[in-house]
Structure 1
């Protein structure tokens, strides 16, 4: 199967944009992820999918992590953690708890590691949600290779 065609097909499904963040010692680390889903309400579980070649794949191993659902005002943060350095970007971190959170996000879920699964060229990290927070903000959306508010992208 042609990988580019498969990516294009997957791109027809609008998703939210998250930063998965964790502590490496006292330093905040993160990766932009749009492959995130709820798994279970009891116990409360969420899943993120990380490419095996990403530094985050080894960096997250056995660590608590936060899934930060970005607001449509946080696109530059998404690009920063996707590997596109943003000039003059300050991230407002909340370092309380078991993993760092990004202030101004639509929502965050702080997770302790629950299970990891090998899945082709990715690893599925399932976390048990320990704490959560959400705001009434517009979420950042990823659709056909572009980011923006859902109102901008899906017309």
Structure 2
């Protein structure tokens, strides 16, 4: 059974899902690769697994498949320029990190300093996802910054940040934890 979905409606529906913003990195043969990604999520706490989706035509795609290691920098609001930069196609590969504060993780991947947290992963599973590849990674390292707490968000092709409400998942239903 073939189902035809209006592409404009599909993109519009997905654009109404607010997400965090990450920069995903890998290193292959001494060359750093990166992409901005909102297609990131946790998969499992035990064992610790996360996933990312990479467009098959992105130059990051082949590099991360071959390297088998990747870092995820979960951006703080102050990482907005880095997010826009790594979403830009055609940026120079060799100098793309020159103006971006970063460090190397234990696996050798670049991790961005303007992040709330970061993960280092080894690819466990690769799944075909149409025009994307889904990579599920075992988390081999993780860290958080306690001095930043404002996430960079993405909604309907615009950046935003969080407005905290007094309610939480523990208080909404009957005030019970």
Rounded to whole Å, the distance in 2 between the matches of 1:28 and 1:91 is: 13
Runs (4 or more) in structure 1 with deviation over 3 Å come to none
Gaps of 5+ in 2: 92-97, 164-177
Question: What is the number of residues matched between the two proteins?
Answer: 148
Q: Is the 8 A contact 1:91 1:102 kept in 2?
A: yes
Rounded to whole Å, the distance in 2 between the matches of 1:138 and 1:26 is: 33
Relative to the length of structure 1, the TM-score reads 0.89
Q: 2:154 aligns with which of 132, 142, 145?
A: 142
Rounded to whole Å, the distance in 1 between the matches of 2:54 and 2:31 is: 20
More strand by share: 1
Shift of 1:128: 0.4
Matched, 1:15 2:27: no
Q: Is the 8 A contact 1:75 1:148 kept in 2?
A: no
Shift of 1:71: 0.6
Which residue number corresponds to residue 69 of structure 2? 64
* Larger mean Cα displacement after TM superposition, 60-69 or 24-33: 24-33
Matched, 1:132 2:136: no
Which residue number corresponds to residue 174 of structure 2? none
SS in 1 for 2:138: strand
Rounded to whole Å, the distance in 2 between the matches of 1:76 and 1:96 is: 21
Gaps of 5+ in 1: none
Which protein has the larger Cα radius of gyration, Structure 1 or Structure 2? Answer: 2
SS in 2 for 1:61: helix
Rounded to whole Å, the distance in 2 between the matches of 1:55 and 1:27 is: 12
Q: 2:104 aligns with which of 95, 104, 107?
A: 95
Which residue number corresponds to residue 29 of structure 1? 33
Shift of 1:4: 2.1
Relative to the length of structure 2, the TM-score reads 0.78
Rounded to whole Å, the distance in 1 between the matches of 2:30 and 2:106 is: 12
Shift of 1:6: 0.8
Q: 1:104 aligns with which of 114, 117, 128?
A: 114
Q: Is the 8 A contact 1:117 1:125 kept in 2?
A: yes
